[in-house]
Structure 1
C-alpha cells in the first residue's frame, strides 16, 4: 500500500529524496543537498525526553531528529527559480556543545542535474533567510571551478533580512558570506511577486526578515514555509518553537496561523527541513499525526493520502 503508516514512519527517519509535484503548469521539486541531526529535546526545548520515548518513529537509530537540507526548484516553462541552496560542499561532526548532531551537504548540484537543470539556467535564487544551511551553494565554490555555482543569478532577500545581516557589526553570518552575496542581492518586499505564480510573504519569528513563499497554479497553492517549522511534529505542537528561533513567542504565534492555513482545501505545505516528508497537508482529525505527507513519484506527479 503506497504511503502506508509503516512507510511514513520509515520516511520520518531518513533525509528527503528528490521529490516533485505539479501545480498546473508549474513544477516544484525538492533538491536534496544533505542532512543535519538534531537532539530532539534541544532542538525543541519545550518537548520532553518522555515525549520522544513515546514517539520513536521521529528519531533515527542514534536518537536524533533527521532534518533535510536542500532547496526548492520552481520551474515554469523554460524558466527556473531556486528557493534556498542547501548547506554546500562541507560537513561538520557532532558537537556536544550545540543542539546538533552531524551535518553535511554536497549533493545539491547532482540533484539539480538529475532534475535536468544546470546552475546557468537558474535566473534567480530566493532565500527564506540567511542562515548557513540555506546559503550553501550560493556562497561556496562549485567543485573544480573556484567559482560560485549561482554567482550569475540574482539573489533575492527580504529587505528586513538584508538589513539585519548587511550591517558590519552583526555576526549572524560570516562576513565573507555576506560579501559574496552582496554584489548580486536584490531586496524584495512583503507581497512581492518574484516569478510566475510565486509571492513572497515576510513571517518574522525565526529571523527578523524570514520569508515564506506562496506558489499557486492549477487551482492549488503550495506554501514553502522555510524554517517556520523544523519538524513535522510541530504540526501537532505549534507551541513548540525551535531553539534557533530568534523570537520563540512570535514564531509560535505564526505557526498556529500557518497550520490552520495548511488545513485549507487545495493547500500543500513544503517543509525544507522535514525528513523524507517534505510535501504534505495538515489534517487535525484525530486519525494520526497532523502532517500527512504526499506520496510523490519521480515522474513529478503526487498522490495525496
Structure 2
C-alpha cells in the first residue's frame, strides 16, 4: 500500500487524511488491558507480533493521530493528539513534547491551521485534545484561530466539574487544552443528536468517558465512522470484554464496544480507528462468536 493510500482515502466525495503525531510501541499489554490473560493471548501472538505487539516487550503498537475530513462544505479536524510543551505526568513519553511532525503533517496534505473550520474531539483525554492549543508568548491559545471547537456537552460538563477538584484528574489537559478554547469564545457545546451537516454527525459511544462520541460520515452512498476510543487495538475485536485501564466506566465501555462491533460487522461501513497502526482503517467482520478487523487492502 502506498504512502498516499495509507494516509489518504476517499469516502464518496469526502477526503479523509490521517495526520500522525506518533506510531510506536506504547503500553505494556497486560497493564493496558487489565482483563488480558497470558494464556488467552498466546494463540494470537502469531498475528499480533510484530505489527500490533512488540516482541520481547509486549508493548502495544499504537498510533496517536488526527483525521482531517474535507467535505464539500467544511474542513474538519477530528481529535488533536498530545501536543507540544504540555506537562504530562501520567505517561512520560507524552511529557513536554517538542516535535514539528504534527504541524508538518497538516502542511503536507495542504491544510494550514487557518483553514480548519471545525475541530471535533471524540472525548477530552490528553491524547485527543493536545493540539487544541499551542503556547504563544507564554499563553495557551487556540491552534486553529478560525475554527469552532465542538465538544459534547455531557463530556465537557463531566471534566469541567472534575477539574474543579484538581488538574491531577485530567493530567492538566483541561486547563491547557480545553478551557483556553472556551475562554477564547471558540467552543460550542452540543447535544447527542448534533449534526454538522448532511455528511457528518455524532454517535454517542459512552463508557471510555461519560460523554464519549464517535463521528459518523456519509457521502454518495458510502458510510464511515471514526471510532475515538471505543477500541484501542485489533485484539479487542477478538476479545471485546478486554477493557483498557483508562476506561471510566468499564462495564458500560464493554457494552458499547460489543454493540458497536455487532452494529457494523459484515457491513460496508469503513471503520477509522484512533489508535490502530497503519493503515488504521478497515472493516469489522464476524469470526465465530467474536469479531476480527480487516484492514483496508487486506482480505
- Length-normalised TM-score, structure 2: 0.83
Measured against aligned partners, the alpha-carbon deviations of 1:263-305 in whole angstroms (never above 9, x if no partner) come to 142211111111114101011246x97100003xxxxxxxx63
Report the 3-state secondary structure (helix = DSSP H, G, I; strand = E; otherwise coil) of the residue aligned with 1:50.
helix
Measured against aligned partners, the alpha-carbon deviations of 1:84-140 in whole angstroms (never above 9, x if no partner) come to 1111125999x9xx6x68446842211111111111000010010111101111123
Residue in structure 2 matched with residue 87 of structure 1 by the alignment: 82
Measured against aligned partners, the alpha-carbon deviations of 1:153-210 in whole angstroms (never above 9, x if no partner) come to 1110011011112235244432343321213210111121114411112221011111
| Partner Cα separation in structure 2 for residue 142 and residue 29 of structure 1 | 27
Residue in structure 2 matched with residue 207 of structure 1 by the alignment: 209
Whether the 8 Å contact between 1:18 and 1:111 is mirrored in structure 2 is no
The alignment's C-alpha RMSD in Å is 2.9
| Partner Cα separation in structure 1 for residue 10 and residue 79 of structure 2 | 19
Does 2:116 correspond to 1:122? yes
Higher relative contact order (CA 8 A, sep 6+): 1
Residue in structure 2 matched with residue 32 of structure 1 by the alignment: 20
Whether the 8 Å contact between 2:141 and 2:181 is mirrored in structure 1 is no
In the TM superposition, residue 229 of structure 1 has moved relative to its aligned partner by 0.5
Q: Return 5+ residue gaps in structure 2 as ranges.
A: none
| Partner Cα separation in structure 2 for residue 47 and residue 252 of structure 1 | 14
| Partner Cα separation in structure 2 for residue 102 and residue 159 of structure 1 | 30
Q: Is 118-127 or 162-171 further displaced after alignment?
A: 162-171
Select the residue among 192, 197, 202 that pairs with 2:194.
192
Compared with structure 1, are the counterparts of its residues 145 and 90 closer, same or farther at alpha carbon in structure 2 (3 Å cutoff)? closer
Measured against aligned partners, the alpha-carbon deviations of 1:45-91 in whole angstroms (never above 9, x if no partner) come to 11123344441513124320011111111101373001111111259
Compared with structure 1, are the counterparts of its residues 181 and 165 closer, same or farther at alpha carbon in structure 2 (3 Å cutoff)? farther
Residue in structure 2 matched with residue 21 of structure 1 by the alignment: 9
Compared with structure 1, are the counterparts of its residues 143 and 78 closer, same or farther at alpha carbon in structure 2 (3 Å cutoff)? farther
